[in-house]
Amino acid sequence: MLWTIIGAAAATLTMFSFVPQIFRSLRTRSVKDVSPVTLFQLSTGVFLWMIYGISQKDPIIIVANAITLITLSVLIFLYFRYGRLVK
């Protein structure tokens, strides 16, 4: 039971970990210190995790990575939107 709670807390924290970055980027309208390689590498990895979850029929892996992928997509959108403004 304790481990289930720890696992759930871990999943929740990591799943939504890019939400503060989204709000910061929206507020400052600047993304020049954010690595686009990190954003794309992580998105590709998270997408493959989602595919892996589908193959294993594991709803937790699917949902957790789908949410992360959505937040990363928003961040990539902001990266290109604000990246052009800065340069």
**Burial, 83: exposed, middle or buried (Cβ in 10 Å; 0-12, 13-18, 19+)?**
middle
DSSP state of 34: S
Minimal distance, residue 46 CB to its own copies, in Å: 6
Determine, following the binding rule CB under 8 A, whether residue 56 of this chain makes contact with its own copies.
yes
Determine, following the binding rule CB under 8 A, whether residue 7 of this chain makes contact with its own copies.
yes
Phi and psi for 20 in degrees, rounded to 5?
A: -60, -35
Minimal distance, residue 47 CB to its own copies, in Å: 8
* CA 43 – CA 49 distance, rounded (Å): 10
Binding positions for its own copies, 13-52, rule CB under 8 A: 13-21, 23-25, 28, 30-35, 37-38, 41-42, 44-46, 48-49, 51-52
